[in-house]
Chain A
Amino acid sequence: MESSQSAGNRTVQVRVMRQENPNSTPRWELFEVPYRPNMNVHMCLLEIQERPTTIEGSQTTPPCWEVNCLEEVCGSCTMVINGRVRQACSALVDTLSQPITIEPMSKFPVVRDLVVDRSRMFEELKKVKAWVPLDGTHALGNGPRYSQEEQSTAYVLSRCMTCGCCVEACPQYGPGSAFIGPAAINQVRRFNLHPTGALNKGERIETVMGPGGITDCGNAQVCASVCPKEIPLLESIAAVARDATVHSIRRWFGK
């Protein structure tokens, strides 16, 4: 239960991309904030929020950003920091070159400043039917048994927090494209691996077989390298692509 303390006169320079609303033109503002031990980019923004004065001394409004858990499990504070998409909470100042540049993600409409509208990603989860279709939540006994190894695989896949890092990095994904992106494709694999989820495997595979589906992946292979949860997205895309091929052959032969 400690309060933060400042360390000497060290400061941190931060350049923040500002945009008042979805229709206004973005501009940069440069700030200087006191350095604190264990400082992350979120804390830099907090300093600016309390004293929103640029380095030139002009008053401005506090920047807007999304934040919640502060331990990289909710995905809220995703932004582009020094050119790389990541969470502001786990971006430690000590590891970043200055001035630190902070921009909103580029693949989604900007709401204000660093806040973007990622609702498209949740719509994509709807599209691929990323769920086990339960008969009901009343007591119907145990779930299926499965091995420790199967659990390990499923667990890694299911840690996706829909933060958007993978789609921000993906050259195929964006406002002009229908591609559903690696995160949603990974969910297809995750539910098709589950014993009950697999009962609807075909239906789920079909959701990624049309336009915007698995064949829109350009194999740039950058999605997995920016995933903060180290989800093997390339493996997931390959697995779903394989299943889609098998499914279409089966469908061809009417099986």
Chain B
Amino acid sequence: MAQPRVIVVGGGLAGLMATIKLAEAGAQVDLLSIVPVKRSHSVCAQGGINGAVNTKGEGDSPELHFYDTVKGGDFLAHQPPVRDMTREAPNIIYMFDRMGVPFSRTPEGLIDFRRFGGTLHHRTAHAGATTGQQLLYALDEQVRRFEADGKVTKFEGWESFDPVLDATGRCVGVVAMDIRSMEIRAFLGDAVVFATGGLGAIFGFGTNSVVNTGSAIAGCYQAGAHYGNPEFIQIHPTAISGGDKLRLMSESVRGEGGRVWVPKNPKDNRSPASIPETERWYFLEEKYPLYGNLVPRDIASREIHHVVYNLGHRVEGEEAVYLDLTHRDPDYLTKKLGGVLEIYEKFKGQDPRRVPMKVAPAVHYSMGGLWVDYKQMTNIPGLFAAGECEFQYHGANRLGANALVACVYGGIVSGVTSFEWAANHAKKAPASTVADSALSRFRERTKAISARGGAENLYAIRRDLGALMVRNVTIVRENSELVKTQQKLVDLAARTRKAPLPDQGPWANQGLVHALEIENMIDLARAITAGALARDESRGAHYKPAFEKRDDAKWLCTTKAIFTPDGPKLDFTEKIDISLLPLAERRYDVVPAHAPKPSIGTASGSAGAAH
């Protein structure tokens, strides 16, 4: 058997993990990434990674992690892969521990765990409050080792645009561009794994990094890959204001005791220190006595939105709420949350150990993504996807600290399954002509963009896209507005065709890259909006006041968006696999009767035990 060659697109946690699994199995890997992989968006994950290790003796178990995740996702995730992920989560944490990730420790020297949203257990391993950065560095180091051994070749500064399909419709590579030399070439292999992360830039400013445009997966979608659950976009409840980014204040702030409040009197403009306890409204603690400030993100964001915009509460005149840590010991906070508090201090100029932070909701994460089967393969044979760019693990709402575990688990699965696929389907070197039509199509597209004239400005279009999507397709969704948004997206696409490139240079032309991306972003925006318009119910992050309730009779199904040149076509024939946990009401004020119980005794505790 020839050594399989696999292309991995994206060098965040999911892509690096897939790369390692492939290299271990014996594949030759070409790893493409827009940025040097160490600068991927995974570095922004702060609070931690979930795994039911039961270090605190609370009777936590992977079964409870599974239940919390399915319930947190409002029963929209297929259950078997979620169960498998939660079972593997402790091993994933141990693997990182072996790689040298400096996880915070207990006095006994074990990995320490903290609380996060949507669970009652200490289940989140963390390295200070820069956990994503530390996990990414660990994988980056391991990949560098394989690179030094010649098993992995990195192509940093290459942006992928279109998958290459052979005559049978199988994916055998990608068309990519070197964003410095502007060279266009095809990377060919026996399988391709996409791990390109989220699409937050479609919403202008949020907590995402600049590269999170979703452009690469839009290329897959345009080539026929189905896109699952596009309408499910997570709004994080606590981010700080800013003109270039809404910087995240991690859920771990609440996990470490942070309290959300507003002055009881909406007109109260006093500074927080001068507002007595009796005149503060801790609205999350009041409404959800059991979970308090640690309700899932969709719920916290909606409640904050309600308090600020419907009831008119303000903090010192700002449309925000307080996130208050001032009752905790400053040294403890520095140790546990230093990385997050540093960001607040640097960008807001105030010390959150002494003054409550002002925070508001911001676009954070896409639960939706490329549709994949349980082996992480899309409907295009040979094209795999892992991490935030696929739809599989989080249903209608992702629980905090489940992103890192899902990225790594998806990376593991896709690494193993894409290797199997590649080994079973390896041809002698694919004909060099297989990419010709994809290459010439892409070259034509770049030529057409370069030839454009008109009065539009690419960067203004991008701002308008973000503002439009934030206004109409985030926390509260109204069908009448969504219909208008669909038309406005078509108009925006038309405007891009009248936007000349600001630079015709042949070298490091960021304007050309941007022009290619914005068209792709609009295609995904149309899928998101179409999904939101069609789904007449409220589930997880998708909320329509006109359809207040979850409607399992009609909507217990995946939204699949299928690209057509005239706009997305939607398919709802895939029912959700609920074979493992029964449907139940999603409550966070009391323990529902159906909830599984924590186990008692030491037998089930897995702390210290290898699996």
Instruction: Indicate if the CB atoms of A139 and B503 lie closer than 8 Å.
Output: no
Asked if A8 CB lies within 8 Å of chain B CBs, one says no
Q: Which residues of B contact A37 (CB under 8 A)?
A: 243
Residues in A152-202 with C-beta less than 8 Å from chain B: 152, 154-155, 158-159, 161-162, 191, 194, 196-197
Q: Which residues of B contact A67 (CB under 8 A)?
A: 210
Instruction: Indicate if the CB atoms of A76 and B457 lie closer than 8 Å.
Output: no
8 Å CB contact of B503 from A61, A136, A150, A196: A61
Residues in A110-142 with C-beta less than 8 Å from chain B: 111-113, 115, 118-119, 122, 125-126, 129-134, 136-137, 139-142
Q: Which residues of B contact A148 (CB under 8 A)?
A: 104-107, 109
Instruction: Indicate if the CB atoms of B35 and A68 lie closer than 8 Å.
Output: yes
Instruction: Indicate if the CB atoms of A122 and B24 lie closer than 8 Å.
Output: no
Contact with B along A187-230 (1 / 0, CB 8 A): 00001001011000000000000000000000000000000000
Asked if A90 CB lies within 8 Å of chain B CBs, one says yes
Q: Which residues of A contact B467 (CB under 8 A)?
A: 3
Given contacts A2-B241, A155-B127, A158-B134, contact A73 B210 (CB under 8 A): no
Shortest Cβ distance from B110 into A: residue: A145
Instruction: Indicate if the CB atoms of B100 and A191 lie closer than 8 Å.
Output: yes
Asked if A98 CB lies within 8 Å of chain B CBs, one says no
Instruction: Indicate if the CB atoms of A74 and B39 lie closer than 8 Å.
Output: yes
Given contacts A142-B610, A197-B100, contact A72 B343 (CB under 8 A): yes
Asked if B91 CB lies within 8 Å of chain A CBs, one says yes
A74-B43, A147-B105, A155-B134 are known; give 9 further A-B pairs, CB within 8 A.
A1-B362, A126-B144, A137-B95, A137-B412, A140-B94, A142-B94, A145-B108, A161-B133, A197-B100
Q: Which residues of B contact A197 (CB under 8 A)?
A: 100
Instruction: Indicate if the CB atoms of B141 and A43 lie closer than 8 Å.
Output: no
Q: Which residues of B contact A143 (CB under 8 A)?
A: 94, 96-100
Instruction: Indicate if the CB atoms of B100 and A132 lie closer than 8 Å.
Output: yes
Q: Shortest beta-carbon distance, B175 to chain A, in Å? A: 22
Given contacts A72-B343, A158-B137, contact A137 B24 (CB under 8 A): yes
Q: Shortest beta-carbon distance, B126 to chain A, in Å? A: 11
Instruction: Indicate if the CB atoms of B21 and A137 lie closer than 8 Å.
Output: yes
Asked if B1 CB lies within 8 Å of chain A CBs, one says no
Given contacts A42-B244, A74-B209, contact A126 B147 (CB under 8 A): yes
Instruction: Indicate if the CB atoms of B243 and A39 lie closer than 8 Å.
Output: yes
Asked if B44 CB lies within 8 Å of chain A CBs, one says yes
Asked if A38 CB lies within 8 Å of chain B CBs, one says yes
Instruction: Indicate if the CB atoms of A76 and B35 lie closer than 8 Å.
Output: yes
Contact with A along B107-133 (1 / 0, CB 8 A): 111100000000000000001101001
Q: Can you give 14 A-B contacts (C-beta < 8 A)?
A: A1-B474, A3-B204, A4-B243, A50-B459, A68-B211, A69-B41, A73-B133, A74-B44, A75-B38, A136-B24, A139-B610, A148-B106, A159-B133, A196-B100
Residues in A25-77 with C-beta less than 8 Å from chain B: 36-40, 42-43, 46, 49-50, 52, 61-62, 64, 66-76
Instruction: Indicate if the CB atoms of B102 and A134 lie closer than 8 Å.
Output: no
Of B98, B109, B412, which is in contact with the most chain A CB atoms at under 10 Å from its CB?
B98
Given contacts A50-B459, A73-B133, A196-B100, contact A20 B209 (CB under 8 A): no
Asked if A245 CB lies within 8 Å of chain B CBs, one says no
Q: What CA separation (Å) do A148 and B335 show in the bound complex?
A: 10
Closest 8 CB pairs of A and B: A143-B97, A141-B610, A4-B243, A145-B109, A131-B141, A112-B508, A154-B102, A50-B459
Residues in B124-163 with C-beta less than 8 Å from chain A: 127-128, 130, 133-134, 137, 141-142, 144-145, 147-148, 156
Where chain A touches its partner, the secondary structure class is: loop
Instruction: Indicate if the CB atoms of B24 and A69 lie closer than 8 Å.
Output: no
Given contacts A1-B474, A62-B511, A139-B610, contact A70 B100 (CB under 8 A): no
Shortest Cβ distance from A158 into B: residue: B102
Q: What CA separation (Å) do A139 and B244 show in the bound complex?
A: 42
Shortest Cβ distance from B107 into A: residue: A148
Shortest Cβ distance from A43 into B: residue: B244
Asked if A252 CB lies within 8 Å of chain B CBs, one says no
Instruction: Indicate if the CB atoms of B98 and A68 lie closer than 8 Å.
Output: no
Q: Which residues of A contact B508 (CB under 8 A)?
A: 21, 64, 111-113, 115
Q: Which residues of B contact A162 (CB under 8 A)?
A: 36, 38
Asked if A11 CB lies within 8 Å of chain B CBs, one says no
Q: Shortest beta-carbon distance, A230 to chain B, in Å? A: 10
Q: Shortest beta-carbon distance, B332 to chain A, in Å? A: 12
Instruction: Indicate if the CB atoms of A130 and B141 lie closer than 8 Å.
Output: yes
Asked if B435 CB lies within 8 Å of chain A CBs, one says no
Q: Which residues of B contact A72 (CB under 8 A)?
A: 343, 346
Q: Which residues of A contact B148 (CB under 8 A)?
A: 126
Q: Which residues of B contact A64 (CB under 8 A)?
A: 508, 510
Q: What CA separation (Å) do A112 and B512 show in the bound complex?
A: 15
Q: Which residues of A contact B103 (CB under 8 A)?
A: 151
Asked if B460 CB lies within 8 Å of chain A CBs, one says yes
Instruction: Indicate if the CB atoms of A125 and B95 lie closer than 8 Å.
Output: no
Q: Which residues of B contact A21 (CB under 8 A)?
A: 507-508
Q: Which residues of B contact A146 (CB under 8 A)?
A: 105, 109
Q: What CA separation (Å) do A135 and B587 show in the bound complex?
A: 44
Q: Shortest beta-carbon distance, A7 to chain B, in Å? A: 11
Residues in B493-534 with C-beta less than 8 Å from chain A: 502-503, 505, 507-508, 510-511
Residues in A56-109 with C-beta less than 8 Å from chain B: 61-62, 64, 66-76, 89-90, 92
Q: Which residues of B contact A68 (CB under 8 A)?
A: 35, 39-41, 209-211
Shortest Cβ distance from B206 into A: residue: A1
Asked if B180 CB lies within 8 Å of chain A CBs, one says yes
Asked if B374 CB lies within 8 Å of chain A CBs, one says no
Q: Which residues of A contact B211 (CB under 8 A)?
A: 68
Q: Which residues of A contact B246 (CB under 8 A)?
A: 1-2
Q: Shortest beta-carbon distance, A125 to chain B, in Å? A: 6
Q: What CA separation (Å) do A19 and B283 show in the bound complex?
A: 54
Shortest Cβ distance from B146 into A: residue: A131
Q: Shortest beta-carbon distance, A172 to chain B, in Å? A: 23
Instruction: Indicate if the CB atoms of B98 and A196 lie closer than 8 Å.
Output: yes
Asked if B247 CB lies within 8 Å of chain A CBs, one says yes
Q: What CA separation (Å) do A133 and B144 show in the bound complex?
A: 11
Asked if B608 CB lies within 8 Å of chain A CBs, one says yes
Q: What CA separation (Å) do A39 and B109 show in the bound complex?
A: 43
Q: Shortest beta-carbon distance, B299 to chain A, in Å? A: 17
Contact with A along B404-443 (1 / 0, CB 8 A): 0000000010000000000000000000000000000000
Contact with A along B79-94 (1 / 0, CB 8 A): 0000000000001001
Asked if B361 CB lies within 8 Å of chain A CBs, one says yes
Q: Shortest beta-carbon distance, B419 to chain A, in Å? A: 13
Instruction: Indicate if the CB atoms of A130 and B144 lie closer than 8 Å.
Output: yes
Given contacts A70-B247, A142-B97, contact A132 B141 (CB under 8 A): yes
